[in-house]
Amino acid sequence: MRVAEISLPAIRHNVARIRELTGGAVIVVVKADGYGHGARAAAAAALEAGATMVATADLEEALALREAGIGAPILCWLHGVRVDFSEAVAAGIEIGISHAQQLEHLAAAATRLGRTAVVQLKVDTGLSRNGAAPEEWAPLFARAAELEAAGAIRVRGVFSHLANAGDAHDRAQAARFDEAIAALRAVGIEPELIHLAASAATLTLPHLHYNAVRVGVAAYGLSPFADKTSAQLGLVPAMTLRSEIVALRAVPAGTGVSYGYNHVCETATTLALVPMGYADGMPRALNGAGAWVTIAGEHRPIVGRIGMDQFIVDVGPIAGRIDLGEPVVLFGDPERGHPPVEIWAGLMRTINYEIIVGIGPRVRRIPVDAEPSVAAVDAPATAVGAPAAAGDAA
């Protein structure tokens, strides 16, 4: 009764679109369970569409993908201090390295196993987050060259991440990135993959594409920008969050709805019960804020407080043509008349990323290789709600 339908054709379309835009290698980020879409299905669809490799933040996620049968190159870059890289080396996972201690741990694991670990060096060019700081580059790169000569590691790539703080900052970060690449070449390392751009720069800043891009949200069909929709970017949202009506009740005017009665029906109407709540990632604060769902091709308002497991929709005007079991779309592709996820993000003063990764574990992810199963409406929805803040994504 709680489903996130994942359109594999949409993911393939989006990855193909990104390949078209960039012409270089495309690394698709499937961290946080594929941004809530299901990492395995997302990775497989991305690779089918020609992605060069997939990436996660954590090693555990990378290993799970390998165990689930993803044989393509997998990169991960965020490591705990007690991480054991042995399994990673044995499984052929590429490791993003941000500092000397990680490099030594990885090389030691490779030496123990008699294998060569594949490394991508992560440099900080101004995000002030994960990645080696410029003053660490010289010793880190020299040591990497030494370990490469000894056969313990192979440096396959170098990468950095943008702060999306505006054009001047982007250019400054790119200049620092160029210095890192030059420093790497100076110690005799020629990286095969050089990547800076995530979704935002991939979609709009071709001068930052280098020879690879690293995209997350765009692969799932969502816009990283507050002022551009998926459709305007040529992307198709892959997730349709849906449920069904499990109870219908005609009520008189004056009926209070849900905890605290913050909604009281002004007229006689019909209320529909939908079994999805804040345990499923539906923000509780959405109640009363103007969020709506699509039922039988109509936009109907969510009324009353959202519970842990369920919420109420006023279906008065369409009560005569719906029945128990009627599909309810919470968000999906606005081109199909479904509410865009950006309505929730806007009402919650957050970004679409946070909503999709927050969809809870009770919601069954169902990958579909056809069009979404919930019937489209005739007219596309008009944009409703405030857009999300851009550029402060993942």
Ligand X SMILES: *Cc1c(COP(=O)(O)O)cnc(C)c1O
Q: Which residues are catalytic?
A: 31, 259
Nearer Cβ to ligand X (291/351): 351
Nearer Cβ to ligand X (251/394): 394
Kindly compute the dihedral angle of the four CA atoms of residues 294, 298, 303, 307, in this order, to the nearest 10 degrees. -20
- At residue 355, the 3 state secondary structure works out as helix
The residue whose Cβ lies closest to ligand X is 216
Question: How would you class 370 by CB atoms within 10 Å of its CB: exposed for 0-12, middle for 13-18, buried for 19 or more?
Answer: exposed
Nearer Cβ to ligand X (111/350): 350
Least Å from the CB of residue 273 to ligand X: 35
Is 98 an interacting residue with respect to ligand X (CB under 6 A)? no
Identify the helix (H) or strand (E) that includes residue 9: helix 8-22
Nearer Cβ to ligand X (222/302): 222
Chosen residue from 16, 231, 289, 394 binding ligand X by CB under 6 A: 394
What are phi and psi for residue 163, nearest 5 degrees? -85, -10
What are phi and psi for residue 202, nearest 5 degrees? -60, -40
Could you give the angle at the alpha carbon of 30 between the alpha carbons of 24 and 34, nearest 5°?
140
Mask for 119-158, x = binds ligand X (CB under 6 A): ----------------------------------------
Residue 115 marked as a ligand binder: no
The count of residues interacting with ligand X (CB under 6 A) is 13
**207-266 positions binding ligand X, by CB under 6 A:** 214-218, 224
- Is residue 76 a contact partner of residue 95, using CB atoms and an 8 Å limit? yes
Nearer Cβ to ligand X (297/358): 358
Contacts of 160 (CB under 8 A, 6+ apart): 122, 123, 124, 125, 127, 131, 173, 176, 177, 180, 195, 196
Least Å from the CB of residue 375 to ligand X: 30
Chosen residue from 29, 62, 272, 302 binding ligand X by CB under 6 A: 29
Chosen residue from 2, 66, 156, 161 binding ligand X by CB under 6 A: 161
- Under DSSP, the state recorded for 118 is E
- Is residue 339 a contact partner of residue 292, using CB atoms and an 8 Å limit? yes
Least Å from the CB of residue 60 to ligand X: 16
Binding site for ligand X (CB under 6 A): 29, 31, 161, 198-199, 214-218, 224, 393-394
Question: Known binding site for substrate: residues?
Answer: 129, 308
